[in-house]
Structure 1
Amino acid sequence: MSKFDFCPWLFWDHATEEDRRAQESHLTALRARIDLDAAEKVFVSPLAAVYADSLRMGDHCYIAAHAYVTDDIVMGSDCTVNPYAVVRGNVVLGDAVRIGAHTSLLGFNHGTEPDRPVFRQPITSKGIRIGDDVWIGSNVVVLDGVTIGDHAIVGAGAVVTKDVAAWAMVAGNPARPIRDRRTTAAPSTPRDVEGSLGDFAGRARSQAEAVLARCWTGDRYLDRPGAQPTVRAWCDAVEIADLLLGGPPPTPAREEVVAFLRDRQDPATGLVPELGATGTPELEGVTAYHVLCVGYALDLLGTGFRHPVHAIAELGSQELIALLDGLDWARGAWTAGSLVDTIGTGLYRNLAFGVSGEVETLYGWLLTRCRQTHGMWGEPDSDSGWLMVVNGFYRLTRGTFAQFGLPLPYPERAVDTVLTQSRDPRYFGPGTGNACNVLDVIHPLWLLGRQTRYRRAEGEAWARENLVRAVNAWQDGAGFGFTLSGDAGLQGTEMWLAIIWLLADYLGVSGALGYRPRGIHRPEPAVTFPGR
């Protein structure tokens, strides 16, 4: 026994000629016993139990004392198997793979049929594949069939049962993503976070009037200079002013804003069509969204709609069920969820006119159609993954469960699904993401977090990263873009201000902002059922 058995990384720089001859003699004995193909600079401890059918070792690889290695193993260059590690089955390591002490890579499995004891079951092997530059900590177990992508890190004690994406940092039992290795770490203490939030909020507040003036033409609000006029731009201006200035926009007078928004409502349907639209407004698209944004903007201005939302009040029980059943939940869960948001909000608005509507019918349908397996409505597709389902979940729950203060069914399964979406590199990470995608993750996490602390640490890690990205993306005198690197406008500014509050509140530091959403993203239920 020598120090190199337990510290083999020292061998190439510190071994004596006698040590080198002893190692060469050991390798020669191994070659006589197993199919060993080793590069010139490798080290295999004589104390390691190496009984592989075939073993391939690239340059600067080592196998330390008391490691247990069997079957068919391939190691690229600069791979290390540390003391007491187990590598068995069909296992392929890329270059620069670090396997911690007492870790097991088990590239095989037993059958589990009930007709015979386990020890008589056939052995199966899908194999394990580890990419380049992967660090697997101590006491990890990686099960058969798993692929770990390049540059990933597996935390100590993890049990890896499913594939790990490239650049992912995972931990736990079963292993779950913590963050992307490429993302910038968030401030390390709550005080740091609160300080950055206070600085951001002060900066935004001091520039709020300039942000609004930039989008005021003299007779209307635009989302950004040069954009087409929209109803939503007026609503966004009202929300921004309430958040940062604590009142209505400085220009025009409050009465003019109220008159503009209330006059837009169609008396027959109760809907608010887009500027310039002709014909009878339909319960779809931006017209449907106006039930939300115009209603909440009028709330902030101390008033409300002139008329009930008749298009929703006139829906009977069977009509509502047929409408919901007819939505394309398989391929259009976001569109379907957004319509449910509008229906829920319309039902809430109509209460002010003494019209109760089919609230119980809506909730009965939602509760019986929610998928127990993932806690959502709809199914993922091969093109966008969970994007449409999670985004639809946000819209649906905002206008129903959140707005009416009701608990969500299957909250833990929903958390699993939201966190799966949160680590999809197509939508999150450096150079990606927009306000909708971030909002549609943090609002569900925030809402579900009121029912359960399940996987809270992972959610908070994601929230910290996105909070730092968001507050650093403010554009002086202009606000936020819908995408953080895009052109700033009222929609992006309104959404990111609310997103930042939700991220901060999920982390317990929203008080540092000095504002709280009171409109479309208000945290409190707008109404509660009797007994709640």
Structure 2
Amino acid sequence: MASDSSVEDAYFDYCPWDFTRRASAAQRAAQTARQKRLADAGASVGPRCYVSSAAGVFTDVLRLGADSYIAGHAYVTGEVRTGSDCTVNPYATVRGRVTLGNGVRIGAHASLLGFNHGFAPDRPVHRQPLTSEGIVLGDDVWIGSNVVVLDGVTIGDHCVVGAGAVVTKDLAPWTIAAGNPARPLRDRRGRGGARAGTRAGTPEGDPSGAVAAFADRAREQAADVLARCWSEDTGRYSDRPGVPATVRAHCDAVEIAALLLDAPPGRMSAAEHAGRLRALQDPASGLVPELSPGGGPGELPPPAHDGWIEDGGAEYHVLSVGYALELLGSRFAHPVRVVQQLTSRQLLSRLAALPWRERAWSAGAWVDCWATGAYRNRELGAEAGEPGALEALFGWLGTRVDPWTGMWGAAASPAAGRLQLVNGYYRLTRGSFAQFGVQVPYPERVVDTVLAHAADPRWFAEGRQNACNVLDVAHPLWLAGRRTGHRADEVREWAARQLAGALGRWRDGAGFGFGPAGEGGSGPGRDPGLQGTEMWLAIVWLLADLVGVADELGYRPRGVHRPEPAGPPGSAVPVFSRPW
């Protein structure tokens, strides 16, 4: 290996790619010492790497793959992980939670900002909490000079981002993008103009036109879908004509109207809808029981020894009613007291006693209810639970997750497959990790487990899908995909197939059916109704986003199935774009 001892140290700050070829023995020794100091502080630096002594590297986590470098005057903080052959050029900034694939180039003066400040009006910005969804770049990505990539963005494999662009949304693989905000210009493989948010090369072709046409059709028919489930006699919503009115049906109507009409269901004002839902809450427990035959709140069963009330419907209403009220600009009238009064010791005892092996879905659903109740209590300015209970929940989950599957519990038997395991994972992570904006652990293993389940024809062959099973795959793949590009092509292929099938299930004037009844007859079945419509609208968005065409829908789930974390505790601001 040739060396040129005449090259000054500062030369490598600006031309680090020459270090391996031109550094002197003394310069190599100094670099070895520099990397040792980083390793002593917990960093991992691969072979043939270079980290300039003029760079500001103050990371909590640093994983630098082989043949990578950080040039002079770069500023690197937070949790930064790179594959091999990655470059952070002079004066670039990489901060927060940032993951790079292999062969990534970060141009001079570019900024990858994998964190964000809150900016609620109740306090100065510098006193706001920080949030971090993270930035993920795939393999073979070129980020031009002066580009800014904002938190929460994923840039797919083989992308090129032109100098000065500001990237605020995900970019599909092979996209060439530029501008502020960055917009796709074309496919790098020469496939012609790219529409914003599209992904080339999906097995079903370009689905953007079909997605846009579906969204227009659904919006045109939304009022009819809601009207067919309203009873003038009872003044209540039913899931579908001919069945009793339910609390969930009312909440589903609110969510459908939010997505497709950007307004409350037309039978009442927003305040009247909210007042009717708030009046159903039991002040003593904070739960919302199912409607009685007369239309008022029904009775709840007596509490268990620790005060918890075992009622699956009322537990789900913590989710459905809480989010419907949020969409209406309101909130619960009372704290969810069964959550508030559970001590940390009682919480841990309940978690340990949940049926993780036999009925992982039930276990995950309980976590979803408790965590959502904790969130709603914080929204009211009340204690989420006993002080330390929320931390106890995440501590327990963090120490019980299976590193081989990324999940909690296990499949009950090979014959039973992974249905309960994966569906329970969705419910658990929806209410805890996703709702509170906490990273899910072992995302690559989650993708492996979920894709293995998604290949099971008992649940996913054409004609056998129901909303619960498809949602419980799509959301974990979407959530894990925020942190990893692991098996991304397989994820997109599965999502594209499911998306094509889902779009064809819409029934004019009636919406979506939930789908075939599962084993034991669970779920409302194939007939179109509010539950199926609300769930499939969210599923279509998740699938479209996995494929890269979600922008064509013109809506984004904002209730129970919202993709991002819930809003800041203490807020109760309507999320509709215009006042009523």
Percent of matched pairs sharing the same residue: 56
Distance in 2 (CA, whole Å) between partners of 1:279 and 1:469 is 40
- Deviation at residue 409 of structure 1 after TM alignment: 1.0
Please tell me whether residue 290 in structure 1 is matched to residue 321 in structure 2: no
- Deviation at residue 279 of structure 1 after TM alignment: 3.9
Q: 1:283 touches 1:311 (CA, 8 Å); kept in 2?
A: no
Distance in 1 (CA, whole Å) between partners of 2:564 and 2:204 is 24
Please show how residues 335-354 of structure 1 align to structure 2 within 5 Å.
Answer: 335-354=362-381
Q: 1:492 aligns with which of 532, 536, 549?
A: 532
Please show how residues 27-106 of structure 1 align to structure 2 within 5 Å.
Answer: none
Q: Indicate the larger mover: 501-510 or 392-401.
A: 501-510
Please show how residues 176-325 of structure 1 align to structure 2 within 5 Å.
Answer: 192-218=206-232, 219-276=235-292, 277-280=298-301, 282-325=309-352
Paired position in structure 1 for 2:67: none
Q: 2:504 aligns with which of 469, 472, 481?
A: 472
Q: 2:429 aligns with which of 397, 405, 423?
A: 397
Distance in 2 (CA, whole Å) between partners of 1:293 and 1:384 is 29
Secondary structure of 1:261 counterpart = helix
Paired position in structure 1 for 2:402: 371
- Deviation at residue 263 of structure 1 after TM alignment: 0.4
Q: 2:354 aligns with which of 327, 350, 357?
A: 327
Q: Aligned partner of 2:531: which letter?
A: Q
Distance in 1 (CA, whole Å) between partners of 2:547 and 2:436 is 24
Closer/same/farther in 2, CA of residues 292 and 231 from structure 1, 3 Å limit: same
Structure 2: segments with no counterpart, 5+ residues: 1-199, 293-297, 303-308, 517-524, 570-580
- Deviation at residue 404 of structure 1 after TM alignment: 0.5
Q: Aligned partner of 2:359: which letter?
A: G
CA-to-partner distance for each residue in 1:43-93, whole Å, 9 max, x for gaps? xxxxxxxxxxxxxxxxxxxxxxxxxxxxxxxxxxxxxxxxxxxxxxxxxxx
- Deviation at residue 191 of structure 1 after TM alignment: 7.8
Please tell me whether residue 421 in structure 1 is matched to residue 437 in structure 2: no
Distance in 1 (CA, whole Å) between partners of 2:310 and 2:319 is 12
Closer/same/farther in 2, CA of residues 189 and 326 from structure 1, 3 Å limit: closer
Distance in 2 (CA, whole Å) between partners of 1:253 and 1:356 is 30
Q: Aligned partner of 1:408: which letter?
A: V
> TM-score with structure 2 length normalisation?
0.58
Closer/same/farther in 2, CA of residues 279 and 441 from structure 1, 3 Å limit: closer
Q: 1:467 touches 1:500 (CA, 8 Å); kept in 2?
A: yes
Distance in 2 (CA, whole Å) between partners of 1:330 and 1:280 is 26
Please tell me whether residue 454 in structure 1 is matched to residue 475 in structure 2: no
- Deviation at residue 527 of structure 1 after TM alignment: 4.9
Q: 2:202 touches 2:496 (CA, 8 Å); kept in 1?
A: no
Secondary structure of 2:489 counterpart = helix
- Deviation at residue 329 of structure 1 after TM alignment: 0.6
Closer/same/farther in 2, CA of residues 400 and 511 from structure 1, 3 Å limit: same
Paired position in structure 2 for 1:481: 513
Distance in 2 (CA, whole Å) between partners of 1:483 and 1:187 is 29
Secondary structure of 2:239 counterpart = coil
Closer/same/farther in 2, CA of residues 523 and 279 from structure 1, 3 Å limit: closer
Closer/same/farther in 2, CA of residues 486 and 514 from structure 1, 3 Å limit: same
Distance in 1 (CA, whole Å) between partners of 2:204 and 2:437 is 29
- Deviation at residue 524 of structure 1 after TM alignment: 1.6
Q: Aligned partner of 2:299: which letter?
A: T
Compute the RMSD of aligned alpha carbons: 1.8
Distance in 2 (CA, whole Å) between partners of 1:451 and 1:269 is 38
- Deviation at residue 252 of structure 1 after TM alignment: 2.6
Distance in 2 (CA, whole Å) between partners of 1:278 and 1:375 is 39
Please tell me whether residue 501 in structure 1 is matched to residue 541 in structure 2: yes
CA-to-partner distance for each residue in 1:247-277, whole Å, 9 max, x for gaps? 1111133232111100010001100001113
Q: Aligned partner of 1:499: which letter?
A: I
Q: 1:483 touches 1:492 (CA, 8 Å); kept in 2?
A: yes
Paired position in structure 1 for 2:118: none
Structure 1: segments with no counterpart, 5+ residues: 1-185
Secondary structure of 2:264 counterpart = coil
CA-to-partner distance for each residue in 1:321-342, whole Å, 9 max, x for gaps? 0010011111010000000001
CA-to-partner distance for each residue in 1:208-234, whole Å, 9 max, x for gaps? 000000000011100000011110000
Closer/same/farther in 2, CA of residues 528 and 264 from structure 1, 3 Å limit: closer
Please tell me whether residue 513 in structure 1 is matched to residue 553 in structure 2: yes
- Deviation at residue 353 of structure 1 after TM alignment: 2.6
Distance in 1 (CA, whole Å) between partners of 2:514 and 2:473 is 16
- Deviation at residue 187 of structure 1 after TM alignment: 8.7
Please tell me whether residue 386 in structure 1 is matched to residue 418 in structure 2: yes
Closer/same/farther in 2, CA of residues 411 and 376 from structure 1, 3 Å limit: same
Paired position in structure 1 for 2:471: 439
- Deviation at residue 384 of structure 1 after TM alignment: 2.1
Q: How many residue pairs were aligned?
A: 344
Distance in 2 (CA, whole Å) between partners of 1:499 and 1:207 is 18
Q: 1:207 touches 1:477 (CA, 8 Å); kept in 2?
A: yes
Distance in 1 (CA, whole Å) between partners of 2:205 and 2:552 is 10
Secondary structure of 2:357 counterpart = coil
Distance in 2 (CA, whole Å) between partners of 1:191 and 1:461 is 11
Q: Which of the two has higher C-alpha Rg? A: 1
Q: 1:405 touches 1:528 (CA, 8 Å); kept in 2?
A: no
